[in-house]
A and B are shown apart, each in its own frame.
Chain A
Amino acid sequence: MTTTNPEPSALSAPPTAQISPVAWAKRNLFSDWSNTILTVVCLGAIAWLAYGLLNWIFTQAQWQVISANLRLFFVGRYPAQLMWRPWTVLGIIALSAGLTWGILARSTWLFNQTGLVVLGVIAAICVALAVPVSLNTSLLLLAILGVSVAAAFAGQRIGQRFPTLVSWLPLIWLGIFFVVFGLIRGGLFLQEVRLDDLSGLLLTLLTAIVSIVLSFPLGVLLALGRQSNLPVVRWMSIGFIEIIRGLPLITILFMSSLLVPLVLPPNVRIDRVVRAIAGLTLFSAAYLAENVRGGLQSIPRGQSEAAKALGLSAPLVTVLIILPQALKAVIPTIVGQFISLFKDTSLLAIVGFAELLGISQSILSNPNFLGRYQEVYAFDTVIYFCCCYAMALASRRLERQLGTGQR
């Protein structure tokens, strides 16, 4: 995909006849002396780096620190006897993701090249896990992957039958979110797990997703508030946005974890996680508001004039005409911001949470795994990358979905 490649021109094929790889290399890599030298030097550097990396991965690194702590990395100290709940959650998410993918791709092919490569890599990882972890885990993961793929095919059929389902997807996912949250958290007839006891990737995902879901509407409201005709609303929005944007996230997190309890009356206790999520949400909302405002301003004035001339009231003009176009225009920016919010959850480690980075640090302080920094952080890197890349893929799908037939 050209968008992820820093040098799209190097990848894009000539528009006319196909040429052989040799001819292609000759034309693009060895066209003259300086080019040839550049190519050789670059190839050398790449080979040297790749050799070093592979050498480290396969001969020097000691991966027991990962395989022995896999559960800690992923679900942290979630009670062992309740492990069926995270697994069920994974199943539900895989099933819904597959269905959604299928519904969105109802009139195109299900998997393009990138999709197939991603699927292949996931399957390979699932298979490879059999050795260090256990055959059962590996089979379970493969089964879930299978469910997801089957769901994608089913979703395509369902989408063809009920095309209007697409507009319900956001609401459906909100419902799924509450089900998943209820399963993790417990309550009602399930044994309760305190939010503050969550850790590992589970905590990272929980804080990131909740902050993303909450900061979106808040950010949109702030953006609208900033353009409001009511001076009170406008000044409050501007004040909030500018104050938050003037503070580093880490100070907001420190305030939420240290200051808030001091300010609140002693009998009111708010979970630490909830306070941290509030901090992340407010921070993200302020930036989101500015992005959305950019989108709002990019809509030509003729749009709202035409809508007003049709007799639509001001709120309807905003909701039906301006916002849909503005949000569509800023999807890439918004997703970029959500990706960075996801990565920013790693700052929670500094204020004492055991999310992915925090649990990594506590694993590293275990005397059995002293000094295994490189392995642990390499593993964290891969996890963060996978999550962020998944978001990027989803956003591209969303853009294509919304972009069909317009402009």
Chain B
Amino acid sequence: MTQAQTDTIQPEVSSEKVIIARDVEKWYDNNFHVLRGVSLTVNKGEVVVVMGPSGSGKSTFIRTFNALESYQKGSIEIDGIKLSHDLKNIETIRREVGMVFQQFNLFPHLTVLKNVTLSPIWVRRWPKAKAEEVALQLLERVGILEQAHKFPGQLSGGQQQRVAIARALAMQPKIMLFDEPTSALDPEMVREVLDVMRTLANSGMTMVCVTHEVGFAREVADRVVLMDSGVLVEEATPEEFFQNPKEERTQKFLSQIL
């Protein structure tokens, strides 16, 4: 529907690989095989949308990218750094990977501004003034500059999620992960969050998004992948994925959500 528009604003995708996941396998509690050999490569500036039925392991998979989940087999390389069990290594990678959660997970005891400046100050060791300057710019970019001195509990869901995006961006990450960022929102607030994500994608950010927003996927994604029972079933451009999916499971999934 927005074919022409998409073509004109599609940013450059270089062939530099920033996420390389090879045959990742994970068991929960030593018996539940949640990831059964998942491989995915994401290039710099690319937007990959992950879809799939509930419980298929989408969250678990993208949470392995910043080591919020461990995995038992396979390998993951983020921006040229192999993910290991070493704490230093994990913290280095987390600095380069921002994450936005379904439940926002803002820190309720800190103001919006402090939520955003927290990790630049404590992790990047920026002086407070610099951190606040950057934070205010980001808050303006996501459209909530006026709320900077409120507490998260005083904001609407959509505003909270935009703060969460600003908070992740404040670390100036190379990659952004989104885990169903709009699923906990009322319909009228979904749009404001998607707008922010769209702008971010157009600015060239590398993004991996778990989302069921078909419109967003069609318009913004470079690739859409379908995950089912811990396996990547299909990987295609949005046009192919939505118009003529190859796999039967994709067709079944699409018939349920479209």
Contact = CB atoms under 8 A, between A and B. Distances in A.
A311 B91 contact: yes
A306 B101 contact: yes
B101 A302 contact: yes
24 contacts: A300-B103, A303-B105, A303-B107, A306-B99, A307-B119, A308-B94, A309-B66, A309-B68, A309-B98, A309-B168, A310-B123, A310-B171, A311-B95, A311-B123, A312-B119, A312-B122, A313-B91, A320-B122, A325-B108, A405-B151, A405-B153, A405-B154, A406-B108, A407-B153
A324 interface: yes
A307 B101 CA distance: 12
Interface residues of A, number: 22
B109 interface: yes
A321 interface: yes
Contacts of B118: 310, 312, 320
Given A310-B118, A321-B107, A305 B151 contact: no
A309 B108 contact: no
B109 A406 contact: yes
B168 A310 contact: yes
Given A328-B109, A407-B108, A310 B119 contact: yes
Interface string A35-72: 00000000000000000000000000000000000000
A327 B107 CA distance: 14
B150 interface: yes
A307 B99 CA distance: 10
Nearest to A304: B105
Interface string A281-325: 000000000000000000010110111111111101000110011
Interface of B: 66, 68, 87, 91, 94-95, 97-99, 101, 103, 105-109, 118-119, 122-123, 150-151, 153-154, 164, 167-168, 171
Nearest to B114: A320
Contact of A311 (B94, B101, B107, B150): B94
A406 B153 contact: yes
B146 to A, nearest CB: 15
Contacts of B95: 311
Enumerate the 8 nearest inter-chain pairs by beta-carbon distance, A residue then B residue, closest first.
Answer: A306-B105, A310-B119, A302-B105, A311-B95, A309-B99, A311-B94, A311-B123, A407-B153
A309 B179 CA distance: 13
A312 B167 CA distance: 13
Nearest to B69: A305
Contacts of A309: 66, 68, 94, 97-99, 168
B98 A312 contact: no
A405 B150 contact: yes
Contacts of A407: 108, 151, 153
Contacts of A300: 103, 105
B171 A305 contact: no
Given A312-B122, A312-B123, A406-B151, 9 more contacts: A303-B105, A305-B105, A306-B164, A307-B107, A307-B119, A308-B68, A325-B109, A405-B150, A407-B153
Contact of B119 (A302, A311, A328, A405): A311
Given A321-B107, A325-B109, A407-B108, A310 B154 contact: no
A302 B108 CA distance: 12
B136 to A, nearest CB: 18
Nearest to A407: B153
Contacts of B171: 310-311
Contact of B94 (A310, A320, A406): A310
A300 B106 CA distance: 11
B97 to A, nearest CB: 8
A311 B118 CA distance: 10
A108 B123 CA distance: 37
A303 B97 CA distance: 17
Contacts of A316: 122-123
A90 B92 CA distance: 54
B224 to A, nearest CB: 24
Contacts of B108: 325, 406-407
Nearest to A402: B109
Contacts of B150: 405
Contact of B101 (A305, A312, A313, A328): A305
A321 to B, nearest CB: 6
Contacts of B119: 307, 310-312
A334 B215 CA distance: 51
Contacts of A321: 107
Contact of A306 (B87, B97, B107): B107
A305 B154 contact: no
Nearest to A310: B119
A197 B198 CA distance: 74
Nearest to A319: B122
A311 B98 CA distance: 9
Contacts of A314: 87
A275 B191 CA distance: 65
Contacts of B105: 300, 302-303, 305-306
A394 B150 CA distance: 26
Contacts of A405: 150-151, 153-154
